Structure 1
């Protein structure tokens, strides 16, 4: 998931691409070697900067897709037509090529394995990226905190991390909501997340779940409003949103 880059006093570091895998026809997960990386929390993001031969620079911010792992940093980038950074990272960018990374950024939209409360994750499109980092952090920490993921996307072809989320994991429930096209053989009709979805696939309000909602602005606002209407504590609903951009 990309955002407008946030300025700060963090230092830029040189990272090099160590590996990649395609998640969808237009989204790619990139694994970087980043010496001196200080570590990060699930839910944080980084700034990425490219510099052309003539000195022109372009930068965007991307959510971290996996928990801290030494000097390895993992991002998932959605290619956007005309996007200066995303088209390069999902196209000609090759193993060993450098890029500048600054971070980690953000300290509110994060999940810590020491939090015992059940967790509800609600993702819209590429908003799955920081939530996947939380799912992976849970697994890496070996904790049994119960997680529920509700993942809204347009079509089955747009699923990120499809194989990983298809594998059953104790304590993790995954619900897909398709807004334009259903998987072959699945009954029903395309729909958007609504009160019924969150009421049946989410946690009851009395469970005191930590709720994380990430996606386009309209999606996030709708989901957050429904959660509050269902009785969830507004202070336990954390949101991360993004709007239309060129990258």
Structure 2
């Protein structure tokens, strides 16, 4: 039953992504479709009736199934994320509302003028989740040559969907990694934060007029977006999504 836009959602699969992150697949009866980049609200209700709501990006997209996928990174002292990462089990019931959001979305078949051109994905930490949905959409549409991804993580062990991103790179997606604290033993690049030189080297050239999606912690997103504009990218074509859910 749908009450106030909330739908029941049953956990059907969980998978550890990093020591602090987990992907969760939910069966949502009556789910129709979602575009890559959208999110849902998740509501938990305690035995005493207390409710907590948080927003989480969808790693899934499309309309072929009533199953959706989230990936959650645990926030210390959070109300919702520790439960989803450590305690939720197959068969548990949650509630979701959505899909939500129309600005931070991408569809390979979109013909609006502002959506044409190559696509640049820039992720910080768990901000990769909606961008993985876009990457999946590009692969399914045979459009990998038009997509680049820049993924900034603290270390290789902190990369959510790491295996899938590596596979996408092998399939033709131009993937660049940034390690801010520690890198793999065979890493030949530098270790540090994303800066102007990183973006200049990894992002589609300004003259290609890429549509850029940046997602991650607020500081990361604001720094990346501001730097892109200073490098000459049209601010109208730089889409941002910040997170901080607990």
Q: Scaled by the length of structure 2, what TM-score is found?
A: 0.91
Cα distance between partner residues in 1 of 2:196 and 2:190 = 16
Structure 1 consecutive aligned stretches of length 4 or more whose deviation exceeds 4 Å: none
Aligned to 1:75: 70
Deviations 1:91-129 (A, max 9, x none): 221111100000011000001112441011111111111
| Contact 1:119-1:145 at 8 Å conserved across structures | no
Aligned to 2:193: 192
What is the count of residue pairs matched by the alignment?
Answer: 237
Aligned to 2:55: 61
Aligned to 2:233: 232
| Contact 2:211-2:238 at 8 Å conserved across structures | yes
The 1:39/1:207 distance shift into structure 2, 3 A limit, reads same
Over aligned residues, Cα RMSD in angstroms?
1.6
1:172 aligns to 2:166 (yes or no): no
1:150 aligns to 2:150 (yes or no): yes
1:36 aligns to 2:20 (yes or no): no
Alpha-carbon shift at residue 233 of structure 1 (Å): 1.1
Gaps of at least 5 residues in structure 1 are: 1-8
More helix by share: 2
Alpha-carbon shift at residue 144 of structure 1 (Å): 4.6
Aligned to 2:102: 107
Deviations 1:192-236 (A, max 9, x none): 111111111111000010000111111111111111112111111
Structure 2 counterpart SS, 1:30: strand
Structure 2 counterpart SS, 1:136: helix
Gaps of at least 5 residues in structure 2 are: 111-115
Aligned to 1:5: none
